[in-house]
Amino acid sequence: MISMDKIVSLCKRRGFIFQSSDIYGGFGGFWDYGPLGVELKRNVKEAWWRDMVSGHNELVPPQGAPAAFDMVGLDSTIVMHPQVWKCSGHYDLFHDYMVDCRQSKKRYRHDQVRGRWVQFGDQKVFVATAAEGDLEQEDVQRRALKYFRLRAKDADRLSYDGGLRTLDTVDELNRVLGPDANELGTLTEPREFNLMFKTTVGALGGEEDTAFLRPETAQGIFVNFKNVLDSTRVSLPFGIAQIGKSFRNEITPRNFTFRSREFEQMEIEFFCPPDQSQQWYRYWRDRRIHWYQSLGLAGDSLRMREHAEAELAHYSTGTADIEYAFPFLDEGEYGELEGVAHRGDFDLRSHMEGKLDPKTNPLRLELDETGKPRHRGSGRDLTYRDEASGERYVPHVIEPSAGADRATLAFLCQAFTEDEAPDEHGKPQARTLLKFHPRLAPIKAAVFPLVKKDGMPEIARDLYGELKRNFAVFYDEKSAVGRRYRRQDEIGTPYCITIDGQTVQDKTVTLRDRDSLQQWRVPLAEVATEIKSRIAAV
Ligand code: GAP
């Protein structure tokens, strides 16, 4: 099992990911991407944009697609008209349940507090833990011993009723020892907490000037549906894609960048005729999992989980999560990378007519106590007229919604490898490497002169300049070449090029492959083409 601590430490040590505001002790739920992290995340986003949008051929149906289709991009604002969030449902419904601890003054997400029923004599208490993963059971035992005033050697006098479970399965809060409390019953009843960050627009600053930071990029697409339709030549079926920041005031941000308060999403809203929506749903679900596989997430670590009917929003006829077995999770657990949802016509109709009642089926406007619509829509016509049939309808939507930070984290975890490789004397040495897919690797190649003399640095610098025009390259002439290789392996550089004595004579260089450790000679003039073709080939 790969240790998350090692990944987090490598990320900090080599400049992938830092805590936000680190010099002030960090700021919970916010993360900065360092020089290598920014390249990695950009490569993830660029691969997504290229594969979903700019490289899409609208003239031919892609493999498995029911028909050819258009894909266009969008960049909408983070702060939008507050009515957007009223009609989307986020204003009323985008909340989590949280509990507060009266003793420690800490706040927790109700469904995330975990613990175990522990019995000693005739007393039985639910001992919650703030530890994660493998440390949970150890922490429960340590806290239970402390609570019952026992010593470590008395651990076998404790008995357990059932395994680790979440607090939302426990009814008797008066028998709960909170994760940071030392007496029972300090947790409050669960309360709703809206996850949208508020801000104020304009100088007056009254309640009517309150706006929200978007909690998803999707709504920017829905409210621009008509603009895109009217300003381009797209016709149904077509998709609008957007990459951008989203903000959620998560109660308990955790697991490195997995659950952050500021993060990036890569979302597609795919508009199609209602009678074709099931086919398109299946197409996007399958296409999106293949995308992760094509970039290196493979085997049992990646899976698709179809939601059971009870889990679906009433307007949805299908949702599938693409999930990854992150190392911070228990064995057999998976974390969501992306959701592919069939959203029916819920969003466009809500923005047209007003907020629909998500509890009713068939869809109806949600009314307030006086019988008036709770939140009015834009009143704009967001229907689509099919040129061929003359039919007018509200398109149905398939939404593949991915997180750029979660995808980046999954690629990092998947790439993290520990093996052995011979050093310059042929002795096996432990090595840490990031086996990134070459498209994602922050640096594609490193150039080393074997020694800092005999004309080698001059040739190496010229080659570095030439390669830099094509892709991200690193130049290093310090320390033994074996150490330079290892430093590049640790940040996932797929190819290293060494300029040695032979280069000066026959104008060939040594190319070394990060994963196989194979080395071979390539003419100096062909290095750029060779690396480009290798990157494109995988
Ligand atoms: N428009 C649909 C939507 O936003 P979601 O499941 O709430 O759906 C989509 O979010 C994706 O955004 C998730 O699968 C995840 O990858 C990412 N995401 C959501 N909340 C996140 C958070 N707090 N931190 C990092 N990524 C997050």
The predicted-structure confidence for 86-119, as pLDDT tens digits, reads as follows: 999 899 888 889 999 999 999 998 988 999 999 9
Mean pLDDT is lowest, of 11-20, 26-35, 267-276, 448-457, for: 448-457
Which of 193, 401, 405, 409, when mutated, tests ligand 1's pocket best, judged by the most ligand atoms within 8 Å of its CB?
401
CA distance 238 to 104: 52
CA distance 229 to 408: 32
- Evaluate whether 187 touches 178 at the Cβ level (below 8 Å): yes
Question: Is the CB of 403 inside a 6 Å radius of any atom of ligand 1?
Answer: yes
Q: What is the pLDDT of residue 538?
A: 64
pLDDT, one tens digit per residue, over 455-485 is: 899 999 999 999 999 999 999 999 888 899 9
CA distance 298 to 414: 9
Smallest CA separation from ligand 1 atom 12, residue: 403
Smallest CA separation from ligand 1 atom 4, residue: 216
User: ∠344-348-350 over CA atoms, to 5°?
Assistant: 100
Q: Which domains does the chain carry?
A: 4-94+196-411 (3.30.930.10), 97-193 (no CATH), 443-537 (3.40.50.800)
Question: Is the CB of 109 inside a 6 Å radius of any atom of ligand 1?
Answer: no
DSSP 8-state assignment for residue 369: T
Question: Is the CB of 260 inside a 6 Å radius of any atom of ligand 1?
Answer: yes
Smallest CA separation from ligand 1 atom 14, residue: 338
pLDDT, one tens digit per residue, over 375-408 is: 888 889 999 999 889 999 999 999 999 999 999 9
Q: What is the pLDDT of residue 148?
A: 95
Question: Is the CB of 248 inside a 6 Å radius of any atom of ligand 1?
Answer: yes
Question: Is the CB of 377 inside a 6 Å radius of any atom of ligand 1?
Answer: no
Indicate whether 31 pLDDT > 70: yes
pTM of the model: 0.90
Backbone angles phi, psi at 471, to 5 degrees: -160, 175
Question: Is the CB of 319 inside a 6 Å radius of any atom of ligand 1?
Answer: no
The answer for 329, left when phi > 0, alpha when psi is -120 to 50, beta otherwise, is beta
- Distance from the alpha carbon of residue 352 to the mean position of ligand 1, in angstroms: 25
- Distance from the alpha carbon of residue 245 to the mean position of ligand 1, in angstroms: 11
Question: Is the CB of 267 inside a 6 Å radius of any atom of ligand 1?
Answer: yes
Q: What is the pLDDT of residue 360?
A: 60
Tell me how far apart the terminal alpha carbons of the chain are, to the nearest angstrom: 27
Question: Is the CB of 214 inside a 6 Å radius of any atom of ligand 1?
Answer: no
Mean pLDDT is lowest, of 205-214, 336-345, 458-467, for: 205-214
- Distance from the alpha carbon of residue 403 to the mean position of ligand 1, in angstroms: 6
Summarize the confidence of residues 284-305 as an average pLDDT: 95
Indicate whether 133 pLDDT > 90: no
Smallest CA separation from ligand 1 atom 2, residue: 401
- Segment (H or E) for 3: none
User: Given pLDDT bands bounded at 50, 70 and 90, which one contains residue 374?
Assistant: confident
Question: Is the CB of 338 inside a 6 Å radius of any atom of ligand 1?
Answer: yes
Which of 265, 266, 303, 337, when mutated, tests ligand 1's pocket best, judged by the most ligand atoms within 8 Å of its CB?
265
- Distance from the alpha carbon of residue 339 to the mean position of ligand 1, in angstroms: 8
- Distance from the alpha carbon of residue 426 to the mean position of ligand 1, in angstroms: 47
The answer to whether the Cα torsion of 173, 181, 196, 8 is positive or negative is: negative
Backbone angles phi, psi at 315, to 5 degrees: -80, -10
Smallest CA separation from ligand 1 atom 25, residue: 259
Q: Other C-beta atoms within 10 Å of 201: how many? A: 13
**Atom of ligand 1 at shortest distance to CA of 218?**
1
